[in-house]
Structure 1
Amino acid sequence: MTTHEHDHAGATAPSDCADYLDQIVYFIDNELDEADCAAVQLHLDSCNPCLAKYDLQRTVKQIVARSCSEPAPDELRQRVLLRIREVQVRIRES
């Protein structure tokens, strides 16, 4: 991640926001090192548009996680396994 700079008014340059937005998923999943995590948190504390995007990403991730807790129906699992086998056969025959 690049070092961020603020202009004299305290606003963050749009390119800096893009750098932080790229890191949000990793931040949510606690996959950043301590320094990057602190930098993202500092940015979120001072940038409302990025904070709103962070909140949206976190909410979507939570909803998906809750929705994916049920096992797939057996019929669907069998179709997926069959399709995987078909692809494996094609790869071996190539």
Structure 2
Amino acid sequence: MSAPDPQEGHEHKRGEDCADYLERIVFFLDNELDEADCSAVRHHLDECGPCLKKYDLERTVKQVVARSCHESAPEALRAKVLVQLREVQVRITSTD
């Protein structure tokens, strides 16, 4: 018989739901929360192993995406995209 997982079925004070914190993690990572919310999220992550794991995953994905987004599109591709955007704008304007 294995030992019970201390994180399994964990409950937080005042009925706080992990789903609420998981939604706020993205805003927390982007520094878009006020200090009170940041403090609450930090406290929750200190107390909740499963949410901390999800936070670490989100942070890692965000870092990898940020590193990958430093490349610029080739000039020929940029020109083609601009032409297509202008064509769409002309079509929208002519149907109005």
Specify every segment of 5 or more residues in structure 2 that has no aligned partner in the other structure, as ranges.
1-8
| Structure-2 separation of matches of 1:56 and 1:10 | 20
Aligned pair in 2 of structure 1 residues 56, 89: CA closer, same or farther (>3 Å)?
same
- Count of aligned pairs between the two proteins: 86
Q: Does 1:41 align with 2:72?
A: no
Q: Give structure 1 stretches of 5+ with no counterpart.
A: 1-8
Written as runs of structure 1 = structure 2, the 5 A alignment for 1:1-94 is: 11-12=11-12, 16-94=17-95
TM-score (norm 1): 0.79
Q: Tell me the distance in 1 between the aligned counterparts of 2:58 and 2:81.
A: 28
Normalising by structure 2, we get a TM-score of 0.78
Percent identity between matched residues is 64
Please identify runs of 4+ aligned residues in structure 1 that moved more than 6 A. none
Q: Separation in 1 of the partners of 2:88 and 2:48?
A: 46
Amino acid at match of 1:71: S
CA drift of 1:55 comes to: 0.6
Name the residue aligned to 1:4: none
- The residue aligned with 2:3 is none
Q: Distance in 2 between matches of 1:38 and 1:64?
A: 26
